[in-house]
Amino acid sequence: MDIKKLIGEMTLEEKAGLCSGADFWHTKTVERLGIPAAMVSDGPHGLRKQDEKSDHLGVNDSIKAVCFPTACATASSFDRELLTSLGAALGEECQAENVSVILGPAVNIKRSPLCGRNFEYFSEDPYLAAQMAGSHIKGVQSKQVGTSLKHFLANNQEHRRMTSDSVIDERTLREIYLAAFEGAVKSAKPWTVMCSYNKINGTYASENRRYLTDILRDEWGFDGYVMSDWGAVNDRVAGVQAGLDLEMPSSDGINDAFLVEAVKEGKLKEEVLDQAAARILNIADRYLKNRKPDAKWDKDAHHDLARKMEGECAVLLKNEEILPLTDSDEVAFIGYFADQPRYQGGGSSHINSTRVESAVEAARDKRAIYAQGYEIDADQINSALLEEAVEAAKKVKTAVIFAGLPDSFESEGYDRTHMAMPECQNTLIEAVAAVQPNTVVVLHNGSPVEMPWIDKVKGVLEAYLGGQAVGGAIVDILYGQVNPSGKLAETFPRKLEDNPSYLYYGGEKDVTEYREGVFVGYRYYDKKHMEVLFPFGYGLSYTTFEYSNMKADKLTMKDDDTVTVSLDVTNTGKVKGKEVVQIYVEAPESQVIRPVRELREFTKVELEPGETKTVSFKLGKRAFSYYHMELKDWFAETGTYLIHAASSSRDLRQKINVKVESTVKEPVVYNLNSIIGDILSDPDAADIIKPLIDRYKKGNALGNSDGEAAKSAITQQMDDAMFRYMPLRQILSFAPQVSSVKEMQELVARINEKK
Ligand code: BGC
């Protein structure tokens, strides 16, 4: 397409028209110029292509497709390649179905376990989320199909999601909420980005120039088009001006007319509209040029991939020598989910799966009996089902209970109100565990749950919402064909009240203040030294790993350099397994309040029994930095940083110190209100101010003549503290004879000049 030429030939009405959908899923055609429609479809863990009745809630049917594990599961793989293979499979399906952009991945941070859409999101940690999203994007786009990174920005709750205002300070936005998008945009260049429904600090995402243009395009280099979430447009003209290119779905011409009018009245420059239309055409052209009309995809192969993937994602949370089971064991599979697994969430990501593989079906060649145990449609104890399950449990060597959250407990569109599982399921687990000491619980849920029975069972396997092949994957793990290697991408708090957003989550009417700031997830629990049920990064294996020999290629570096750290990991157990090695960086004492340590790198390594491999990681400035409000940039303070190699955020195995020297001067400007302690601790300033301070101290020395040593020591301490935190000007109130305003102003001017 000669896009420039086409834009030149289009009428104002055609250009405005191109910037909104033709219907629910297509962009408009301009027949006279040969511009074809392009189709977009949901995403993110399967293709939801609707041919007939359309909706954005997953109500009407879509074509048959494979439902892969959802993001809450895939993030637990900590495996970039796995996400890329998921993306590539989706890309193949899109090529076969003529879909130009698949909507996702969704990279919003899990601020609270309550968010109804957590199952679609990756993590509480922005680095992990960005890495997973970036890998997903690379996979899809390797098939010349676009992605839409969503929901930009700060859409961390479903409650009033279309109008709520996420009020967040700049440092928190940069370090947590923007960072997840930033990493994915910079590393993987998504073809499109979808803006969210909500407001950010008072302005709707769909008309927020700061995020859609200043940061997304100008800072991060995004070069695709921005589309709205479905119905997220408030003021269309303001939206185009801010950088929202495509409105979805169709607004039936209403908003197009506003755009035409705004251009005619001179309120919107025609070049701005041209630019939006050109961006949309550019992506359509990228897709069309590489279109593979004969593409086919293999349903069975993708189903098998979904099974293999889930095997890498499920997290073994507890195992007191109960797993793996052996084929000859008599086992009772108990719980509705054993036969009818919950493997995906509700809403726009809902897939019409090609097939669903349950654990009961996958274990048909094992010695397993089945009992339903609980009802799924209502949280009420069914005594007959409960009794049947208890009897089944008594008969066998091991009971495996499949439990978790029913569809009604979590979904797009609303948030959970508590973190509990249905009472009928908790009762079942307690009842079975009371008669069967060998009890394992397999969980199907999109977000953490409380586990009041945790001490009464011997094993817990977190399957998350593991895609249509979840049953097969879980049987593979239960019986040891697959060695579990997932690690939690989020903390499981003991109870909801422990979560840092607990007091403010959901907000007041349409205002949600993110008052916990950067202390999201483990950043909070670690700072508070809090006990958690399972920490971020945690997960067991059927083997054990030892870490040794941590090294760094340098022990001192400038902040514009990089350091490579390496260590050896050895499989010290009896079976092959995979370990996720996590690198956390701990900053020295800082002038700002920082988390204790933060995840900065990770890798997954496969080892035969007895095998050792060396893994290495490159860390640059960003790994040591916080977002500096005055510099408006990332800043690594000079100091010694502790780099940990860890098996989870609470299982630190090896460490090394690296000194980082900042090459950036902070914009410190002193005045008469500056604190004396600050000035004295600044090497550029101390010498200049010292004579004045000495004079003051001399003239104001505390007497120590009463002989009460203890009292005077305390008095001295108090005096020192008073002095340290005293503004310079106060010298004049206490000892006017020592200096003058003029002299002080001159001293301050000299210091500032030197800076
Ligand atoms: C969701 C998006 C989805 C869109 C289209 C919206 O309700 O928030 O994630 O892509 O619908 O179905």
Residue 714 pLDDT level (bands cut at 50, 70, 90): confident
Residue 709 pLDDT level (bands cut at 50, 70, 90): low
pLDDT value of residue 710: 60
Q: Which superfamily does CATH assign the domain made up of 301-490 to?
A: Glycoside hydrolase family 3 C-terminal domain (3.40.50.1700)
Q: How far is CA 81 from CA 5, 78, 127, 568, in A?
A: 40, 9, 16, 21
Q: Two tokens at 159? A: 């409650």
Q: Two tokens at 171? A: 């440092």
- Please give the CATH architecture assigned to the domain spanning 545-661: Sandwich (2.60)
Residues with CB under 6 A from ligand 1: 42-43, 56, 103, 150, 229-230, 348
Indicate the average pLDDT of the chain.
Answer: 96
Cβ-contact 586, 594 below 8 angstroms = no
Distance 229 CA to ligand 1 centre (A): 6
Atom of ligand 1 nearest to the CA of 161: 8
333-357 pLDDT per residue, tens: 999 999 999 999 999 999 999 999 9
Residue 702 pLDDT level (bands cut at 50, 70, 90): very low
Residues noted as catalytic: 229
For the chain, count helices (H), then strands (E). Answer: 23, 27
Residue owning the nearest CA to atom 11 of ligand 1: 56
pTM exceeds 0.85: yes
Cβ-contact 237, 203 below 8 angstroms = no
**Rounded Cα gap, residues 449 and 6, in angstroms:** 54
**Rounded Cα gap, residues 371 and 332, in angstroms:** 7
Among 594, 630, 621, residue whose Cα is nearest residue 518: 594
What's the fold here for domain 3-53+78-289? TIM Barrel (3.20.20)
What is the mean predicted confidence (pLDDT) over 451-463? 98
Atom of ligand 1 nearest to the CA of 58: 12
Q: Is 590 exposed, middle or buried (0-12, 13-18, 19+ CB in 10 A)?
A: exposed
Distance 101 CA to ligand 1 centre (A): 13
Q: What is the DSSP letter of 211?
A: I
Distance 153 CA to ligand 1 centre (A): 14
Atom of ligand 1 nearest to the CA of 42: 10
More confident residue, 236 or 700: 236
367-390 pLDDT per residue, tens: 999 999 999 999 999 999 999 999
119, 195, 348, 414, best to mutate for ligand 1 pocket (most atoms within 8 Å of CB)? 348
661-701 pLDDT per residue, tens: 999 988 888 999 999 999 999 888 999 999 999 988 887 65
What is the mean predicted confidence (pLDDT) over 318-340? 97
Distance 343 CA to ligand 1 centre (A): 19
Tell me how crowded residue 560 is: count the other CB atoms within 10 A of its CB: 12
* Amino acid letter, residue 493: P
413-446 pLDDT per residue, tens: 999 999 999 999 999 999 999 999 999 999 999 9
Atom of ligand 1 nearest to the CA of 151: 9
Q: Two tokens at 224? A: 């695709």
**Rounded Cα gap, residues 125 and 75, in angstroms:** 10
Using CA atoms of 126, 127, 132, 135 in order, give the dihedral in degrees to the nearest 10. 130
What is the mean predicted confidence (pLDDT) over 2-24? 97
b/e for 634-648, b at 16 or more Cβ within 10 A? Answer: bbbbeeebbbbbbbb
Please report, for the chain, the start and end positions of each structural domain, with discontinuous segments joined by +: 3-53+78-289, 301-490, 545-661, 676-754
pLDDT value of residue 698: 82
